[in-house]
Amino acid sequence: MDEIAISASGLAKKYRIGLRRDPYGRLTESLWNTLTDPLRRRRSQEREGDFWALRDVSFEVPRGSIVGIIGRNGAGKSTLLKILSRITEPTLGRAELRGRVGSLLEVGTGFHQELTGRDNIFLSGAILGMKRAEILRKFDEIVAFADIGQFMDTPVKRYSSGMKVRLGFAVAAFLEPEILFIDEVLAVGDAEFQKKCLGKMSEIGQGGRTVIFVSHSMPAILRLCDRAILLDRGRVVIDGPTHEVVRRYLETGPGRTSSREWTDPAIAPGDDVARLKSVRVIPAGGGSSEEIDIRRPIDIEVEYWTRTPGELRPSVNLHFYNDEGVCLFINNDWNDRRWWATSRRPGLVRAVCHIPGNFLAEGRVIVTAVVSTYNPTIVHAMEGEAVAFVVVDRSEGDGVRGVYANDFPGVVRPMLEWQVEQSSETVSVRR
């Protein structure tokens, strides 16, 4: 029987919301509050309530496993990791961990902001119970992986968020905790660093250490994890093989709509360089945008506000996935060479990607919308599973399927040009 590294039993976390309390007050206010407490309690009951971030979450993780935790925003993923990392106490239930624990839950987690990067490496190692000689053996690898060597003697408080993530991941990975918790924080890094991190996590799992990985990236979850747990509103929906859990996840939530819009820039995804306004699926000739005939061309329209592009050149890129989380393709608006050569200025940008008919395979297509700048790659606005639509091949003769009605595999289904000729030559066959 595999040794259990993590055991969670009936975990629940409750927060009280809606009641505002001042931590400090005068003595007269305290006396008055005591006298009027029954009245205040009745009034506050209308404003306050209990919010359960987690409800009855139980699971076990064998040592050496890499388990993905997925779910929509607010599903309870980060709360679960904070409980497992001993950052917060559960309201109910218990969690047992067997081994040294490393966590990368937020940018700069565990770092002393006044200390330098070098000092924080040794501090993190000491917290894990490592001797100075052990940390020194790993020091050069940490510095090389984080790629911030010239800033190692700079206080961490002066690091950018990307630098903090690079150092945080390097410390967590190379100081070799037996259990490693990683939240979506890796999304802060650039694409090349994310790729490097995923490779290192795979290596960690193969080395027998236990990893709990929270991510909205289904390809990353599918690549790294043999098992996944789907949370929704604080409860476990399904716990099982990754491909089954990912399929269940993709069947629900925002990825089922063909149009998204953010009317308030203050809460829209993004930063001062780019902030999303809308993402839409627009079929040629109108009609339903939820269900698209395989023969019909479609447009994916992305609108975003840009306030301070400066010398940067914001660019829309779209990531297309199928129901299994497989990336079908990625496309970028730099294919419009005129736009790519145009100087950016503050305002509203509308970018449209044209997809021809008879190109996508039938099935559900989920689109992630991203606005980035390059050299170095920086993601300014991103909405995973922003929109989705279903491609239908009706087998009516002029589609790719033609008269063939059985399973037709492939992630794309292009209508390619063929030339077929026949000569008058015949062949005789001896019986």
Where is the domain boundary, 200, 221, 250?
250
Whether the pLDDT of residue 409 is over 60: the answer is yes
Where is the domain boundary, 250, 279, 302?
250
350 falls within a domain: yes
Phi, psi at 315, each rounded to 5°: -145, 135
Average pLDDT over residues 242-268: 79
Winning range, highest mean pLDDT, from 171-175, 248-252, 311-315: 311-315
Kindly state whether residues 119 and 243 are assigned to the same domain.
yes
Kindly state whether residues 139 and 79 are assigned to the same domain.
yes
Within the chain, how many helices (H) and strands (E) appear?
10, 18
Phi, psi at 61, each rounded to 5°: -125, 115
The range of the structural domain enclosing residue 164 comes to 4-30+47-250
293 falls within a domain: yes
36 falls within a domain: no
The reported pTM is 0.58
Q: Which of 109, 85, 79, 87 is nearest to 169 (CA)?
A: 109
Q: Give the integer Cα–Cα distance in Å for 95 and 54.
A: 13
Whether the pLDDT of residue 344 is over 80: the answer is yes
Kindly state whether residues 155 and 292 are assigned to the same domain.
no
345 falls within a domain: yes
CATH number of the domain where residue 212 is located? 3.40.50.300
Kindly state whether residues 245 and 298 are assigned to the same domain.
no
Q: Give the integer Cα–Cα distance in Å for 287 and 235.
A: 38
pLDDT on residue 200: 80
Check residues 387 and 40 and name the one with the higher pLDDT: 387
pLDDT on residue 187: 59
Kindly state whether residues 8 and 136 are assigned to the same domain.
yes
pLDDT on residue 80: 93
Kindly state whether residues 287 and 179 are assigned to the same domain.
no
Phi, psi at 74, each rounded to 5°: 85, 5
pLDDT band at 191 (very low <50, low <70, confident <90, very high): low
Kindly state whether residues 94 and 226 are assigned to the same domain.
yes
161 falls within a domain: yes
Alpha-carbon distances of 348 from 16, 299, 307, rounded to whole Å: 40, 19, 9
Note whether 13 and 88 are within 8 A (CB). yes
Kindly state whether residues 227 and 132 are assigned to the same domain.
yes
Whether the pLDDT of residue 106 is over 70: the answer is no
Note whether 98 and 87 are within 8 A (CB). no
* % residues pLDDT > 70 (the chain): 83
End-to-end CA distance of the chain: 64
Winning range, highest mean pLDDT, from 18-27, 150-159, 191-200: 150-159
pLDDT band at 21 (very low <50, low <70, confident <90, very high): very low
Note whether 173 and 153 are within 8 A (CB). no
Whether the pLDDT of residue 236 is over 90: the answer is yes
CATH number of the domain where residue 318 is located? 2.70.50.60
Tokens of 273: 């360089």
Query: Which residue is it, tokens 């407490």?
Result: 37
Kindly state whether residues 185 and 297 are assigned to the same domain.
no
Whether the pLDDT of residue 305 is over 50: the answer is yes
134 falls within a domain: yes
Residues 6+ apart with CB under 8 A from 230: 70, 71, 236, 237, 238, 239, 245, 248, 249
Phi, psi at 22, each rounded to 5°: -90, 130
Q: How many domains does the chain have?
A: 2
Kindly state whether residues 334 and 300 are assigned to the same domain.
yes
Kindly report the average pLDDT of the chain as a whole number: 82
Whether the pLDDT of residue 294 is over 50: the answer is yes
pLDDT on residue 125: 82
pLDDT on residue 415: 82
Long-range contacts of 44-52 (CB under 8 A, 24+ apart): 44/19, 47/18, 47/19, 48/16, 48/17, 48/18, 48/19, 49/16, 49/17, 49/18, 50/14, 50/15, 50/16, 50/17, 51/14, 51/15, 51/16, 51/17, 52/12, 52/13, 52/14, 52/15, 52/234
Residues 6+ apart with CB under 8 A from 176: 138, 209
Note whether 275 and 267 are within 8 A (CB). no
pLDDT on residue 108: 58
Kindly state whether residues 203 and 272 are assigned to the same domain.
no
Kindly state whether residues 278 and 221 are assigned to the same domain.
no
pLDDT band at 13 (very low <50, low <70, confident <90, very high): very high
Where is the domain boundary, 250, 271, 295?
250
Which run of H or E residues covers position 219?
helix 218-224
362 falls within a domain: yes
405 falls within a domain: no
Q: What is the pLDDT of residues 22-34, one digit of tens each?
A: 444 444 455 555 5
